[in-house]
Amino acid sequence: MGSRRKKREEEEEPPPSLSEDDADGSDSPSEEGSKTEVDSSHYEQARNQRIKENMERMQKLGLFDLSLKLKPPKENHLPKKKKKKTIPQPNNSPQRRSSRIMSLVPIDYSEGKLPDPGSKENEVEIFIPEGTNPEVYTEEHEKLLGDCESTWELCVDGYDEDGNRMYDPIKGQTCHQCRQKTLAQHTNCNKCELLQGQFCGDCLYMRYGENVIEANHNTKWVCPPCRGICNCSRCRRGKGWMPTGNIYSKVSKLGFKSVAHYLIKTRLTELGSSDAEEISETSADTTLNIQTRTRASKKRV
C-alpha cells in the first residue's frame, strides 16, 4: 500500500518552474538541435548540387569515356599454376665445329704437369744496364774473391726479436755496401783502416761470399774496395758501371756463392798483357780516389 501512495504523490506533483533564462525567451536545447539539422541539410543540398554540376560538366567534356579507356583491364585473380622444373638432359648429339678449325687439335684445358726445374721456362734472367765503360774482369780479379768456412745466417745479427733492423746514429757503424748505420758486427780493413773497410755481416756474405766473424779474426784481411772488387753502387758508378741492384736471390738460384762471384766469373775475359795492365791501373786509380774521398770525409767529421 505504501508504494502505491508514493506513485500517486509523484504523479500529482506540479511540473518544475521555468528558470529566468527560459522565461526571457532563450533557445531551448531542442530548438538548437533543430537549427543544426537545418544548417546541415542546406550544406548537403549545396554539396549535392555542386557534385551534380561537376558531373554534367565532365560529361560534356567527354572525360568519362577517356577515363574508361585509360583504365587497365581487370586481371584474373585466379592462382597461377606453378611451372614444373625441367631438368636439362645431356646433349648426346655431335658438337658442331667451324670448318675453319676442324683440322685443328682441340684445346685441352686440364691442369698439366709442372715444368721441370731445368727447363728453359724457369731460367733466371739478370739484367744489368750497360755503363759508359765495359765491365771486364781478369784472372787476377778471380783470385781476389773471398771464401768462408762457415755459413752466415742472414737477418739475425743486428736485428731485434721482431725481425726489425736496429739502427743507431750514435753507437752504430755505417756499412760501406748498404750505407746503413746499425748495431751489428762490421769488418775492419787491415790495409786502409778506413770507413770503406766496414761491411756488415749480411752484405759481406751476400755480395762477396765471406763471413764477418772469420774476417775479424784474420789479421791479413783486406776489404773489397782495396782489392778492387767492390760492387757497391758508388764504386761501380766511379768505374763507369751501372749498379746491379738486389740480385742475390737470382744469383744464388744460379749456383753462385755471391754477387761478386757471379760478376767476375760471368764477365771473365782472356786479355793480353797490355789490356790487363790498363784494366788493373783503372781499378787501382778508382780505388785510390775512393780512399782519398773517404779520408777527406773522415777528417770533416
Question: Are 209 and 260 contacting, i.e. CB atoms less than 8 angstroms apart?
Answer: yes
Whether residue 223 is contained in a domain is answered as: yes
Whether residue 120 is contained in a domain is answered as: no
pLDDT in tens, 126-149: 999 999 999 999 999 999 999 999
What is each CA distance from 179 to 149, 173, 233, 257, 287, in whole angstroms? 26, 9, 10, 22, 18
Q: Which three cell numbers stand for residue 139?
A: 784472372
> Residue ranges of the chain with pLDDT lower than 50?
18-19, 21, 23, 111, 121, 270-277, 279-280, 282-284, 286-288, 290-301
Whether residue 221 is contained in a domain is answered as: yes
How many domains does the structure of the chain reveal? 1
Reduced 3-state DSSP string for 147-196: CCCCCCCCCCCCECCCCCECECCCCCEECCCCCCEECCCECCCCCCCCHH
* Spatial CB neighbours of 204, under 8 Å, sequence gap ≥ 6: 152, 177, 187, 210, 211, 212, 215
Rounded Cα–Cα distance for residues 154 and 99 (Å): 61
Whether residue 21 is contained in a domain is answered as: no
Whether residue 122 is contained in a domain is answered as: no
Residue 270 has what pLDDT?
A: 47
The closest alpha carbon to 257, from 209, 203, 201, 202, belongs to 209
Whether residue 282 is contained in a domain is answered as: yes
Question: Are 165 and 158 contacting, i.e. CB atoms less than 8 angstroms apart?
Answer: yes
pTM, to two decimals: 0.53
Whether residue 193 is contained in a domain is answered as: yes
pLDDT in tens, 179-216: 999 999 999 999 999 999 999 999 999 999 999 999 99
Whether residue 156 is contained in a domain is answered as: yes
Q: Which domain holds residue 267?
A: 127-300
- Indicate the pairing of strand 181-182 with strand 173-174: antiparallel
